[in-house]
Chains A and B, each alone.
Chain A
């Protein structure tokens, strides 16, 4: 929560006029979440530095303000009081508001002149995945310097710090620098301290006037600025892009659209998977289906449309997911025919459940890999011994295929909650074990693009009960 701005040149003390803050005074400003101080660590003809320092009450952040009914925003142990966050943007606007507008009655000419300015932001969030600071500031004409430490020097194995000290220098008008900082700090630290309302779009456009629309990475900036509200990002982008359809751009866009269409033509894996499972259900001749681990009920929604299926139960262990599912299916407004057809319930696959009994077919789609290995035996019995439907359709990732995913490390699993992913051989062995133990036969097939060596991304087993 420290920003320094250095002006180099002649009579640099005049920075005080531009900022409307006297270089020989240290001043304090009350903000809604704490205090801001402005002072000048260096003052000389050649070089003057102004500092904006924030003093944020960690308790107010954690608890909500004294007397307010709302709970706090953050944990007591939190980087918010120390890191360079949207608090800094707000403070810039509050303390250097006039300077941001570029108005300086006493020295308007200086205010309108590009000056040699350097700004440093301390502890700015930047996880270091790509060269974000260069991508963002270099197109605006700055020289960018970053300094990053270890997360904790005593524990070098913990890797690098997620913060940088960022220094940008350039020859630029002070007002421009301030507007850049105002907009771009939250692009780094994406956790805004205030509720993002729709008027933020206007704010972004106002402070980005004259530079944001031309920025080659404006999409990234806008998206990151509105992390929490994707729809705002879309609207803001629409406005930014509206007036600038040059022919060159149009050509580029056409290319992009073609690429997108090509992408579209390849149906998403999830859609392919659901389609395959649906077909397997219909082929089995089932009239009643239980969707075990239904998630948000994408499969259930698909099956509800099939006249062959007269009864569907959708279960998940996660209550909040079921609530979302109920919303997705518009369960409150369902007609009675559909409503009677569908049962939505919380259930666990590692407990025996009498409600699972009596269905022709059970679907277990992308579920087993979320179960702790030591609970798999309980899952097997629950489904194949006790519920024991005529048909069980089960899908799970094929681990071998992960080699085709560029962004994945070796041994990484596709989802943080996956406890394991099986190779084709492992899946085959498991289905054999099920068939022997519980009296089923299993037909294995693949779903998704076929890689000659590695198979398909998803593997499916259709189990049919003997006799």
Chain B
């Protein structure tokens, strides 16, 4: 006997319908995952500890539907295992299906009465009166006929125990699910009968005719977003091309509102022959009945939207809001065809639409047409590609995944628009961040770390810092990570030493490292565009500037701006001279740099903390040394003293030595901070040492080794204008003793005079041996320099011993997260992700920085 086949859409809401004891629960258990089945008995138990307690049904169903709603939010097939024999009960199921835009399916178990009675009598837990079984039996019989009318899209009736034992459930893909089609696609906007332009565009995209049908030699597929006809001069020809391409598998298509209206006409319904429909009808009538029938069948078979490429791409005529993607219902179809309308009409008599794209936060790229504009409008991961060809604009295609726009201009204006074409999303004002995306717990996926959580209080702190101090978020495409020092050294007299930095990488499987001199300045990120037009177009910067220098917390480095403008101009001059812009095929660049002098940004700190400490220390210690020297000079006459005095005797000579040591520490400390201070009289006095070329148009340079960065910086940025200086570096092979020694020697040399030290990095920009992300860099600071971190006297053995006990875990954990976020935000920006997606990462870095961590690390 053939299996009784039940076909279910992969995502739907299933209602089991059947009398008590008809075997619903066993059926559900057999054919569905336990998590897919929501049983009323289970929820009765959950609210009352008794699965059979009928008095708590209302509460139980509340909870059941709450759970069902959440599952459907997450697009999970859900089975409601309850009797569902009352129409009211089914109404609730259907209502939920409607709200969730999902098909409702009824599976009816219509078992013989004798069997029901027999099973009921055998049930120990719940023995119902026979009249209940009788009633259930009749109710089920009676409802079957009306189920489709009630609103169940599919109804399956299992009317015998034999059939019940012989069932096959097939889950079918939703019609809109073309996730396994990966393209590449050429998505083509509203054509409206502009066949000449369509042919030109297809040719421009590389399509050629084979057997009279357009095809792409590399197997690209066209994707039409609807509105093939009306208003233009060759409506039927367009339909011919589209139908042929779709049939041949060279294209996919979704319908537009004009196509659907035409279908209505072809179905013999009465329609207003306005908005150019009359032209189409005239052409079709001329083509004859066969063609009309073909068009009718074609449009009738179109699905209102498609989800493509693993869910990364969605096409629909008028776009689709996030909650509707991948769902099917009348509401979804309406949205796809007409967009979201308020029911009001504007001064041109056109329907007022809600701006769904403004609220769109989905990860899928939504490409649509419907609203004619002068240019392609990009907003929050949505592209509107209707560029009003028929109104004399142009016909546009979006290449996917390249996100490249290809268009041909209209040969003429075929139709007068009712109102002027929409302007591009108003970039003169720039796009605006919405607070609702940030003032909450954030969960960010980055390509280096799968998930980074930001707690609500940290987000609140970041919101404050961003709002009060940060530069325009459009510029903040990257915030640098914090950097951990190496583990403390085991050597006497050193808190940090290169051996520990080398060992960190060596022990984790990285043999080759790069040591870069650590300039004692302030971290500065530079974003520079070739001109302010680029800044407006690419960054949405509206104040006419073309670049920025900002600190590691996203604050503009220079108030006032004159120094900033001049430094950026000088950088541009250098990059132009070295042909950087052309060689890198870009009109903007983002650099990670160190800006000196330190005193420029740390002025406040130096003058309120560092210098006063040195001043107070040197002053009072010099006096103490002098006083002790006087004592020692005259202290050759030791006396017997009364034993009643309270203090212990102490040797003044020893005291003198001790205080000379302290004084010496303070002198060295003062020298250490002085090293990094100089007075800036003009822009010439600044020094900028770039160490990463982070990104430029189309590329993030995280795949290039550090040596590449250093050498390209040498080639393109440094050595011309003295402001831009090279960072000395040294490669070390951690397996080669000599090489390691060379690294140590180099560090000793760098730090002898108070140098800050060096940064040790793995050879590659990101190191993930065995899938575990390593610190992108660890710093190893100089012995003298550390006096300005741990205090002038930190090298005194009793102090050093205590300082060596320190934990780096928190710092390192933060460094990894912040690094991942920084790289993610760059790649999102380069990928043209919407502003809020880029901002999310910078925002998260600031949020992480609000975590308390030992500031000396």
Instruction: List CB contacts (< 8 Å) of A132-164 with chain B.
Output: 149, 151-152, 154-155, 157-159, 161-163
Q: Are the CB atoms of B435 and A22 closer together than 8 Å?
A: no
A310 to B54, CA, bound (A): 46
Stretch at the interface among A70-78, A261-269, A402-410: A70-78
A375 surroundings in chain B (CB, below 8 A) = 467, 470, 472
B648 surroundings in chain A (CB, below 8 A) = 27-29
Q: Are the CB atoms of B610 and A161 closer together than 8 Å?
A: no
Judge whether A353 is part of the interface by a CB distance below 8 angstroms: yes
Stretch at the interface among B362-370, B617-625, B701-709: B617-625
Judge whether B670 is part of the interface by a CB distance below 8 angstroms: yes
A63 surroundings in chain B (CB, below 8 A) = 802
Judge whether B613 is part of the interface by a CB distance below 8 angstroms: yes
Judge whether B492 is part of the interface by a CB distance below 8 angstroms: no
From the candidates A62, A66, A95, A151, name the one contacting B615 in the complex (CB within 8 A): A151
Rounded to whole Å, the gap between the CB of B468 and the closest CB of chain A is: 6
23 contacts between A and B (CB under 8 A): A1-B620, A22-B645, A25-B647, A25-B649, A26-B651, A28-B647, A41-B626, A41-B627, A58-B791, A76-B790, A77-B610, A77-B789, A83-B616, A84-B620, A95-B647, A122-B624, A123-B615, A123-B617, A151-B607, A151-B615, A348-B435, A353-B436, A375-B470
A28 surroundings in chain B (CB, below 8 A) = 647-650
Contact bitstring B428-460, A, C-beta under 8 A = 1, else 0: 011011111011000000000000000001001
A162 surroundings in chain B (CB, below 8 A) = 612, 615
Q: Are the CB atoms of B611 and A26 closer together than 8 Å?
A: no
Q: Are the CB atoms of B621 and A82 closer together than 8 Å?
A: yes
B670 surroundings in chain A (CB, below 8 A) = 152
A75 to B648, CA, bound (A): 31
Instruction: List CB contacts (< 8 Å) of A371-385 with chain B.
Output: 371-372, 374-375, 377-378, 381-382
Q: A27-B645, A27-B650, A53-B624 are in contact. Are A381 and B432 (CB under 8 A)?
A: yes
| Size range of the chain B interface in the assembly | 35 or more
Q: Are the CB atoms of B471 and A154 closer together than 8 Å?
A: no
From the candidates A22, A24, A155, A382, name the one contacting B432 in the complex (CB within 8 A): A382
Instruction: List CB contacts (< 8 Å) of B245-283 with chain A.
Output: none
- Kindly report which residue of chain A lies nearest to residue B555, judged by CB atoms: A372
A79 surroundings in chain B (CB, below 8 A) = 612-613, 616-617
Judge whether B70 is part of the interface by a CB distance below 8 angstroms: no
Contacts A77-B792, A152-B614, A158-B607 given; 10 further ones with Cβ under 8 A?
A: A4-B627, A24-B639, A77-B609, A83-B620, A157-B679, A159-B607, A348-B466, A350-B467, A372-B470, A374-B472
A374 surroundings in chain B (CB, below 8 A) = 471-472, 543, 556
A58 to B651, CA, bound (A): 23
- Kindly report which residue of chain B lies nearest to residue A382, judged by CB atoms: B432
Rounded to whole Å, the gap between the CB of A348 and the closest CB of chain B is: 4
A319 surroundings in chain B (CB, below 8 A) = 457, 460-461, 464
Stretch at the interface among B334-342, B395-403, B629-637, B683-691: B629-637
A27 to B646, CA, bound (A): 9
Q: Are the CB atoms of B627 and A123 closer together than 8 Å?
A: no
A25 to B634, CA, bound (A): 11
From the candidates A22, A51, A55, A76, name the one contacting B639 in the complex (CB within 8 A): A22
Rounded to whole Å, the gap between the CB of B596 and the closest CB of chain A is: 16
Rounded to whole Å, the gap between the CB of A255 and the closest CB of chain B is: 40
- Kindly report which residue of chain A lies nearest to residue B839, judged by CB atoms: A351
B628 surroundings in chain A (CB, below 8 A) = 39, 41, 53
Q: A79-B612, A79-B616 are in contact. Are A2 and B466 (CB under 8 A)?
A: no
User: Which of B627, B789, B792, B802 is most buried by chain A, counting CB atoms within 10 A of its CB?
Assistant: B627
From the candidates A20, A78, A377, A417, name the one contacting B609 in the complex (CB within 8 A): A78
Where the two chains meet, the residues of B that have a C-beta atom closer than 8 Å to any C-beta of A are 429-430, 432-436, 438-439, 457, 460-461, 463-464, 466-472, 542-543, 556, 606-607, 609-617, 619-621, 623-624, 626-628, 630-631, 634-635, 637-639, 641-642, 645-652, 655, 658-659, 666, 670, 674, 677, 679, 788-794, 799, 802-803, 856
From the candidates A76, A95, A159, name the one contacting B856 in the complex (CB within 8 A): A76
Q: Are the CB atoms of A351 and B609 closer together than 8 Å?
A: no
Q: Are the CB atoms of A155 and B616 closer together than 8 Å?
A: no
B439 surroundings in chain A (CB, below 8 A) = 346-347
From the candidates B438, B460, B468, B791, name the one contacting A76 in the complex (CB within 8 A): B791
Contact bitstring A22-55, B, C-beta under 8 A = 1, else 0: 1011111100000001111111000001010101
A51 to B625, CA, bound (A): 12
- Kindly report which residue of chain A lies nearest to residue B645, judged by CB atoms: A22
A122 to B620, CA, bound (A): 5
User: Which of B429, B623, B630 is most buried by chain A, counting CB atoms within 10 A of its CB?
Assistant: B623
- Kindly report which residue of chain B lies nearest to residue A381, judged by CB atoms: B432
- Kindly report which residue of chain A lies nearest to residue B433, judged by CB atoms: A351
- Kindly report which residue of chain A lies nearest to residue B464, judged by CB atoms: A317
Instruction: List CB contacts (< 8 Å) of A188-235 with chain B.
Output: none
Q: Are the CB atoms of A158 and B619 closer together than 8 Å?
A: no
B556 surroundings in chain A (CB, below 8 A) = 372, 374
Q: A346-B463, A372-B556, A374-B471 are in contact. Are A353 and B649 (CB under 8 A)?
A: no
A135 to B705, CA, bound (A): 66
A155 surroundings in chain B (CB, below 8 A) = 611, 674, 677, 679
Rounded to whole Å, the gap between the CB of B30 and the closest CB of chain A is: 48
A66 to B798, CA, bound (A): 12
- Kindly report which residue of chain B lies nearest to residue A386, judged by CB atoms: B432
User: Which of B650, B679, B802 is most buried by chain A, counting CB atoms within 10 A of its CB?
Assistant: B650
Q: Are the CB atoms of B467 and A317 closer together than 8 Å?
A: yes
Q: A28-B650, A123-B616 are in contact. Are A351 and B623 (CB under 8 A)?
A: no
B631 surroundings in chain A (CB, below 8 A) = 26, 39-41, 51
